[in-house]
Amino acid sequence: MLDEEERNQPSHVDQQAGVDEDPANTYSCIEDIRISQQFIQALKDATLYNGDLSDEAIATLLNPPEESLELDPESNIDLFMCLRLFLSGINSAKLYDPTIETIRTRNPDNEPLSFYQLKRRIENLTGITPIIRDMCPNSCHAYTGPFAKKTSCHRCGEPRFEPGTETPRQQFYTIPIGPAIQALKRSYKTAVEMDYFWLRATELLEEQIRNGVIELVDDIVCGTDVLEAVYNKDIGEHDTVLMFSFDGAQIYRNKASDCWISIWIIVSFSPIFRYKKRYILPGSIMPGPNKIKIVDSFNFVGFHHVAAVNKEGGLPVWDASRHKKVVSRLYIVLATADGPGMVYLNGLVGHSGKVGCRLWCGLTGRHKPGAPMHYPVLSKPDNYHVAGCDHDDVPPHIVRPIDKVRYVASLRRVCNARNQTEYEFLRRETGICKPSILSGLPDGTYLGIPTMFPCDIMHLVLNIADLMIGLWRGKLECSKTSDSVTSWPWAVLVGDMWQMHGLDVAQSTPYLPGSFDRPPRNPAEKINSGYKAWEFLLYIFGLGPGLFYGLLPDKFWKSYCKLVAGVRLIYQRRIRTKDQLPIAHQYLIEFVAEYEALYVCRRADRLHFVRPIVHVLSHLGPEALRIGPGIASSQWTMERNIGNLTAEIKQDSTPYANLSQRAVERAEVICLKAMFPQLDEAARKQETLPYGSINLGDGFVLLRAKDSCAREVTDSESTALTNFLEEDEECGPENIPNNWIPMVIRWSRLMLPHGQLRYKNNTEFGDVRYYFRFDISAGVTRTLAMVSLYSRPDADLLSASSGTLWSCKHQGGVAVVVVNVKDIEAVVAVVPHSTRILGEEWGDRVFVIEKPGLDVSIMAGIVEDIPDED
């Protein structure tokens, strides 16, 4: 417990913190709220001089070099060599110093830096200096903010220092964001790329004024709340827009190794760049192995730095693209986490509360008689009389917007609770536990609370897949007294049918292109042993409509297809607001209503079927309008960075210290490669096309292997090429000789800009037999594809499946066409229907699936390897 002096310290926190501004007021009598209020107040009092930076670091931060750095390999050969060694992975004294000694033996005249000297030089070049603070060895809290002077843990009582010394027993690392932004801005290339947000926002505001609506939502900057911040001048031309992401990770699968990690995503960059590894900046490494108790104490250090910089008026940076110093405020537009992590950021009760929506929409849940957990059930069960939960049906199409005014008033009530009993009542009725630490940031430097905490579309895939598979397998909890799994008509994945279905999933793998990334494994064997989010995505929202057809009863299959249709549309990075977004929203709210009608059937003993994720579906459409498409703020980026960082751990004996060093090193490497592009071998390699390839422009590249000489084509191919040439404006039928026998040099591969085939203004699917180049006339060469088309889809199935099941037949040589390669829009998979389920008469039918969120793979830096071929 806090002592009397701490408890009665005057509160100056504003209404966002839940109390009045009258300094006569005291902190809350509820301990958790009081601790949050004290961290918020400490943020409000933040300056660069009461933080953790040294005087030297502050001086450098406020007076950055006013020039771009140059690194000439010839005049700085020793430094260049040392940096190359460091970036190549020789990044520890144990590896680096022997390598240097070997180089000295061969070239005595060289004067390479020692490892210590190199680390100091890197620190001076990048400005990256980690802030290292003490923490409880049991991971209860960090000694920061109001806990800074304590000598024992506030929760468990463990001493801070080793007995008889001032040596801390455990520490954690925070990497301040300011120096990294200064380093990035000193590079002309990255400074230009960081202008994306402002230029795009300016264009969008002009479009909104001109047309009254934004027609394409393709990024966070398209969100109405975000554009409002630009319009209100909370975000300026030189400001750096950030997204904070926070999540827990297990370093090792089979032993306790809890660890929390935060990262900064620079939203000022275009989506093409911002989600790539080389631009994601580590924020903090918070060691385990136990669960953190007071998370605000760890996040405080990074937020204190942001608050202090903004209270100085902003971050002075040398902008290499403008050749001048500008001042950049740090604006946090969103803060993201999965469900368990989000409660630490937003201060809400979590998904099991009576008002448990993570977007705080106000929907009141219902619980079973005598059970504490609430569920977001819209329809009132029959014969249901539970006080506080027996309200009338809630129409599924009514999606409540986030009301900031109501939130502030409700938060004030919770914070002013007079005792624990009143607090628990108000917490249950409002869905608010405490104020968010982010409310301590200076006004106008963050999007707002609770509006800055988005849904997470990545975990939506995991959670909805787990729910639906659990239902269909009959694995969800079932009342032993009033219900029976045998009465569930949807429970079809049982016994041999589950094994048969698992084989169908596994046997689809050969039909999935390599660009689809990891194919789903046999769920009957692997679903309980590390089945990945991407596997669930391809399984449930890709293959599902085809493989579940004929397996699920018809009405359940049709309803499920609406879920797939809505998620496929909402999962895109580019969503058209006039047609796609309303359709996606309609599909999702129809599914939510049908889900309750089909599975719950107004039965109180099935309330637990309606998990929070079902309710979240109704928010996805409106949220895309408000803060951009969900994929732009999903946890995919965090998950990939957790994987990247933990894979670099080199010493199992000190994993947390090693992970912290890897995070610091990651920040240093990002800054070094930005300032000195000649050191970035990987980027230069990506910019180099494979040997023998031909750049066709617009992101299309023709790739080898290819024929060594021209070869004759088949009769059907000859007819297809003739038909194409007759319609080509540069050729025409008059230029095609009689009895002409075409010959072509075939190429095997084509790289697409996005990584479906539009033919005569229709979407068609087909197999590309080969690619070839053809001289239409003098100086005019076309790059073409010989394609064998599939049939048009079964219209009845397409309609019944809400457009998700394109079932067709391969037409072989009777439907061969030639198309310009730039009419090819994407690679798709063509998978056979299950004859085990549907019978042998379906043996000649296939169904088409597109890669979910195709352009998302580009955002995340996933690129299919392209081998060089001789």
- Predicted confidence (pLDDT) per residue in 55-72, tens digit: 999 999 999 988 877 777
CA gap 803, 526 in Å, rounded: 30
pLDDT in tens, 784-823: 999 999 999 999 999 999 999 999 998 888 899 999 998 8
What is the predicted pLDDT for the residue at 90?
Answer: 82
**pLDDT of 138:** 94
Bridge partner residues of 411 (DSSP): none
Q: Which amino acid is at 739?
A: N
| pLDDT one-digit tens code per residue, 389-423 | 999 999 988 777 788 899 999 999 999 999 999 99
Q: Across residues 200-208, what is the average pLDDT?
A: 96
pLDDT bracket for residue 685 (50, 70, 90):
low
Give the whole-angstrom CA distance, residue 593 versus residue 590. Answer: 5
What pLDDT, on the 0 to 100 scale, is given for residue 4?
39
- pLDDT in the model for residue 586: 96
- pLDDT tens by residue, 622-654: 999 999 999 999 999 999 998 888 888 866 778
Q: Which of 537, 561, 539 is nearest to 460 (CA)?
A: 537
Question: For all residues of the chain together, what is the average pLDDT?
Answer: 89
Predicted pLDDT at 686: 62
Q: How far apart are CA 120 and CA 374, in angstroms?
A: 55
Q: What 3-state class would DSSP assign to 362?
A: coil
Residue 667 CB partners (closer than 8 Å, separation 6+)? 126, 128, 175, 180, 281, 282
Residue 855 pLDDT: 46
Angle at CA 128, nearest 5°, toward 127 and 129?
110
* Beta pairing partners, 245: 263, 336
Instruction: Decide: helix, strand or coil at residue 84.
Output: helix
d(CA 524, CA 4): 59
Predicted pLDDT of residue 683: 64
pLDDT for position 11:
37
The yes-or-no verdict on residue 479 having pLDDT over 80 is yes
Q: Predicted confidence band at 754 (pLDDT cuts at 50, 70, 90)? A: low
φ, ψ (nearest 5 deg) of residue 715 = -60, -45
| Torsions phi, psi for 443 (to 5 deg) | -55, 145
What average pLDDT does this structure show over 716-743?
A: 86
Kindly report, residue by residue over 103-113, the tens digit of the pLDDT.
Answer: 888 787 778 88
The pair of structure tokens assigned to 21 is: 């501004």
Q: Which helix (H) or strand (E) holds 407?
A: helix 404-415
pLDDT of residue 192: 96
* pLDDT at residue 691 greater than cutoff 50: yes
Identify whether the C-beta of residue 275 lies closer than 8 Å to the C-beta of residue 266: no
> Which candidate, 854, 808, 789, places its Cα nearest to that of 827?
854
- pLDDT over 80 at 758, yes or no: no
Per-residue pLDDT tens digits for 504-562: 999 999 999 887 888 999 999 999 888 988 899 999 999 999 999 999 999 999 999 99
Q: Return the pLDDT at 13.
A: 37
12 has pLDDT over 80: no
**How far is it, in rounded angstroms, from Cα 123 to Cα 643?**
26
Question: What pLDDT was estimated at residue 856?
Answer: 41
Lowest mean pLDDT among 31-45, 106-120, 123-137, 487-501: 106-120
DSSP conformation class of 159: B
Contact 527, 463 (CB under 8 A): no
Strands (E), 640-722: 694-697, 700-706, 711-712
- The predicted model gives 663-667 an average pLDDT of 94
- The yes-or-no verdict on residue 24 having pLDDT over 80 is no
pLDDT at 673 over 80: yes
What CA–CA distances, in Å, run from 302 to 54, 307, 439? 15, 9, 14
Q: Report angle CA 454, 303, 267 to the nearest 5 degrees.
A: 50
Pairing of strands 845-850, 828-832: antiparallel
> What is the rounded distance in angstroms from the CA atom of residue 563 to the CA atom of residue 559?
7
Answer yes or no: is pLDDT of 299 > 70: yes
Q: What is the pLDDT of residue 651?
A: 66
Q: In this model, does residue 870 exceed pLDDT 60? A: no
Phi-psi region of 350 (alpha: psi -120 to 50; beta: other; left: phi over 0): left
Residue-level pLDDT at 539: 96
Instruction: For residue 831, count CB atoms less than 10 angstroms from its CB and return exposed for 0-12, middle for 13-18, buried for 19 or more.
Output: buried
pLDDT bucket at 255, cuts 50 / 70 / 90: low
Q: In this predicted structure, what is the pLDDT of residue 310?
A: 98
**Amino acid code (one letter) for 604:** A
Residue with tokens 């106000």: 362
User: CB–CB of 827/755 below 8 Å?
Assistant: yes
Q: What is the pLDDT of residue 151?
A: 96
The DSSP result for 248-288, as a single string, is EEESSSSS--EEEEEEEEETTS-HHHHTSGGGPEEEEEEE-
pLDDT for the residue 865: 37
Q: Does residue 870 contact residue 691 with C-beta atoms inside 8 Å?
A: yes
The pLDDT, as a whole number, for residue 687 is 63
Q: What pLDDT is recorded for position 643? A: 87
- Is the pLDDT reported for residue 450 higher than 60? yes
Average pLDDT over residues 768-793: 89
> What angle (nearest 5°) sits at the alpha carbon of residue 27, between those of residues 22 and 28?
120
Burial class (CB in 10 A: 0-12, 13-18, 19+), 232: exposed
Please give the average per-residue pLDDT across 334-343, as a whole number. 92
Percent of the chain whose pLDDT exceeds 70: 92
**Crossing angle of helices 404-415 and 31-44, rounded to 10°:** 120
| Entry field: residues in the chain | 870
This model's pTM is above 0.95 = no
Predicted confidence band of residue 18 (pLDDT cuts 50, 70, 90): very low
Instruction: Tell me which residue of 346, 341, 331 sits closest to 451, measured CA to CA.
Output: 346
For residue 26, the cross-strand partners are 10
Sole residue written with tokens 């569920």 = 375
Neighbours of 198 (CB within 10 A): 18
Which backbone phi and psi does 636 adopt, to 5 degrees? -55, -45
Query: Could you give the CA distance from residue 59 to residue 55 in angstroms, rounded to a whole number?
Result: 6
Please state the rounded mean pLDDT for residues 472-496. Answer: 95
Read out DSSP for 181-195?
Answer: HHHHHTSHHHHHHTT
Q: Is the peptide bond before 710 cis (omega within 30 degrees of 0)?
A: no
What proportion of the chain, given as a percentage, has pLDDT over 90?
67
